[in-house]
Structure 1
Amino acid sequence: MALDDTAPSIAGGAGAVEAEAVRPLLTAAELEELDAAYAPYARRDAYGSMGRGELRFPRRAELVLRAVLLVPVRFVAGMLLLVAYYLVCLACTLFVVDGVAEGRRPRLEGWRRVAVVRSGRALARAMLFVFGFYRIRVTDRSSPNADAEDTHQDQSEELEIPGAIVSNHVSYLDILYHMSVSFPSFVAKESVSRLPLVGLISKCLGCIFVQRESKASDSKGVSGAVTERVQEVCQDKNCPMMLLFPEGTTTNGDYLLPFKTGAFLARVPVQPVILRYPYTMFSPAWDSMDGARHVFLLLCQFVNYIEVIRLPVYYPSKQEKEDPKLYANNVRKLIATEGNLILSNLGLAEKRVYHAALNGNNSPIHQKDD
């Protein structure tokens, strides 16, 4: 999963123009109308659209105090955890020549795999603690009732192990939670594999690196690579389970976008998981805010919350195996119902239009959506 960078850049101009470029250029009425049209991406917490809403003096003073007391400590602690896990991954991949240097997933087995997984889970949970997620409320519905068991009994006899975790997508924090519990791999941009620290970690996670704009005729594409990996999970116990966000982008947490079929082409069972982030002032959802500002405000919040609902493994029927779109739609409806989420027909393209409008740009840059 590669979180999309939707805010367009505006070049040129003096300081005043640059200041305008980072603030909503709409009247209150226009902004309200825009938020209604693009409701899945509208930010409704105390900080408003793009996280730049006006705060009263007491709130601003409180924010400054939190920035002074919390941000430096949490930032340093987070970096130490990141470096610590990088060192674990570095030690576990020493003398492992199976594709590490070429950017491929290292085949870790035995103590190496155990060390990477166990330390990864622990440090991911520690990172969430640093971000203020001290307690995580989990509702486990993974034991289906008798009716649910009868529904797909004939299919579940063959495939008991899910090939992928399918989750709604609200924030980059989703990945940290899933790492702390299941330690799955996911889809990332190819450039991530070359990043300092994060590059090696993502390889040890078993990420699938893709070039979104690649037109090469020999390229399997994202869907092909995901299908191949999901099938591998069902055959190799050392292969990390895939974490897939079928919506393709993040929302404000109240909506569920249409599902892409990539997670369902392998025709194997999936594990549905629902994530919600209750809040009072700052919403951890990454919807209409730039990354740096989002991390800053997240670190300024004393306490953050995650609510998790783990649903039973979904075993596709024969008809669903033959029709990936039907499979995807049925899982989407289940997640929406169990998570009390609103179904929306919008997607990544509309999100980019919304972000462009917030920035006063009526001609958003059109990018290919995989």
Structure 2
Amino acid sequence: MALDATAPTGDGGGGGEAEAIRPLLLSGEEAEELDATYAPYARRDAYGTMGRGRLSAPQQALLALRCILLVPLRFVAGMLVLLAYYVVCRVCTLSVDGLAEGRLRLEGWRRVVVARSGCALARAMLFVFGFYWIRETDRSSPNAEDVHQGHSKEMERPGAIVSNHVSYVDILYHMSVSFPSFVAKESVSRLPLVGLISKCLGCIFVQRESKTSDSKGVSGAVTERVQEVCQYKNSPMMLLFPEGTTTNGDYLLPFRTGAFLGSAPVQPVILRYPYRMFSPAWDSMDGARHVFLLLCQFVNYIEVVHLPVYYPSEQEKEDPKLYANNVRKLIATEGNLILSNLGLAEKRVYHAALNGKSRAIHQKDD
């Protein structure tokens, strides 16, 4: 089943500042060839690749007006929301063990306050970014024939939410609905404001490059947490983006198996961002410019489809790659997404080429 094509679209959005709207380092033909080769990361909105497309005089005037009226107000409002949640987390973690080590486990009223205020303030942050309405379709109640045989009436709780990854806005949406925990680099736990918040979210902090005995690695830590979620109702559900990076929203990259190694059921969710001029997808654009353009957009929209919990078969439990591929095909079919074999490594090559650097870069995948 496809998403409803009649969903509302934004009324147009910002572009870049005058100094940011500079020509690409590649010729037009070279840029088009790259966009075709690396289609999942190519930006198709009115502002072009990397958000450096040329704007007409009326568009520049409208951008300037939005910059003056919207950006300062939304920036201040966003900071107030962030500070408010930091204060809530600070109060709820007073005299709690494990805070310094990042192994925080909130229970009772502390967990309730942190979770409920987190959902509300995440929705407030979406409102600040112009996501006033969210169109949701709930298909999360499966038919009896859709569930593998052998499951009792008290079905096993899904261990993770698996979602396609389009933008950092994805995280805000999921926080506002289910308040899950995430996988984050260990350095995030030390950031001002965000560090404490990430600990209260129950994030898994990993050293991605470490292979020592003190580090279980990303897959090991995720598998352990997913299994814990299935066993304990009070454990925050994991949110995982199996693609490992963001796309322009029209494609679905190969899934990594980390979310599926625990053989636990998963909750698939599909996110789409309808737009008219500026796409909220974070593909080929740098972060600062993307945030600026998003703040300049009067209205943004999200379309969300919640699919039924996917219970793996015995064969899928024994073969995580098969499990991951089957869930990927389901999400692609239900979301009208195009399957692609590209990954994070190719995205890095694409970005390097857009910036005039050699295409022959060799960086280890995160």
TM-score under structure 1 normalisation?
Answer: 0.91
Aligned equivalent of 2:188, options 174, 189, 192: 192
Q: Evaluate the alpha carbon distance shift between residue 302 and residue 23 of structure 1 in structure 2; reply closer, same or farther with a 3 A threshold.
A: same
Measured against aligned partners, the alpha-carbon deviations of 1:256-294 in whole angstroms (never above 9, x if no partner) come to 000000000000100000000000010000000010100
- 1:357 paired to 2:353: yes
Equivalence for 2:280? 284
Aligned partner of residue 234 in structure 1, secondary structure: helix
Cα drift, residue 368 of structure 1: 2.0
Aligned partner of residue 144 in structure 1, secondary structure: coil
What amino acid maps onto 1:28 in structure 2? G
Instruction: State the distance in 1 between where 2:269 and 2:299 align.
Output: 23
- 1:201 paired to 2:200: no
Q: Evaluate the alpha carbon distance shift between residue 83 and residue 362 of structure 1 in structure 2; reply closer, same or farther with a 3 A threshold.
A: same
Measured against aligned partners, the alpha-carbon deviations of 1:6-61 in whole angstroms (never above 9, x if no partner) come to xxxxxxxxxxxxx99x8521111111110000000000001111111111110011
**Conservation of the 8 A alpha-carbon contact between 1:159 and 1:269:** no
Measured against aligned partners, the alpha-carbon deviations of 1:116-172 in whole angstroms (never above 9, x if no partner) come to 0000000000000000000000000111234313xx132465742100000000000
Instruction: State the distance in 2 between where 1:280 and 1:89 align.
Output: 38
Equivalence for 1:82? 82
Equivalence for 1:6? none
Instruction: State the distance in 1 between where 2:149 and 2:140 align.
Output: 15
Question: Structure 1: 5+ residue runs without aligned partners?
Answer: 1-18
- 1:264 paired to 2:260: yes
Aligned partner of residue 310 in structure 2, secondary structure: coil
Equivalence for 2:114? 116
Aligned partner of residue 223 in structure 1, secondary structure: helix
Matches within 5 A, 1:148-187: 148-149=146-147, 152-155=148-151, 159-187=155-183
**Conservation of the 8 A alpha-carbon contact between 2:23 and 2:53:** no
Equivalence for 1:9? none
Cα drift, residue 102 of structure 1: 1.6
Q: Evaluate the alpha carbon distance shift between residue 156 and residue 34 of structure 1 in structure 2; reply closer, same or farther with a 3 A threshold.
A: farther
Cα drift, residue 341 of structure 1: 0.1
Matches within 5 A, 1:1-370: 24-97=24-97, 99-104=98-103, 106-149=104-147, 152-155=148-151, 159-363=155-359, 365-370=361-366
**Conservation of the 8 A alpha-carbon contact between 2:350 and 2:359:** no
What count of residue pairs does the alignment treat as equivalent? 348
Question: Structure 2: 5+ residue runs without aligned partners?
Answer: 1-18
Measured against aligned partners, the alpha-carbon deviations of 1:68-119 in whole angstroms (never above 9, x if no partner) come to 000000000000000000000000000002x111222x11111100000000
Cα drift, residue 239 of structure 1: 1.1
Instruction: State the distance in 2 between where 1:86 and 1:212 align.
Output: 27
Q: Evaluate the alpha carbon distance shift between residue 80 and residue 28 of structure 1 in structure 2; reply closer, same or farther with a 3 A threshold.
A: same
TM-score under structure 2 normalisation?
Answer: 0.92
Q: CA RMSD in A?
A: 1.6
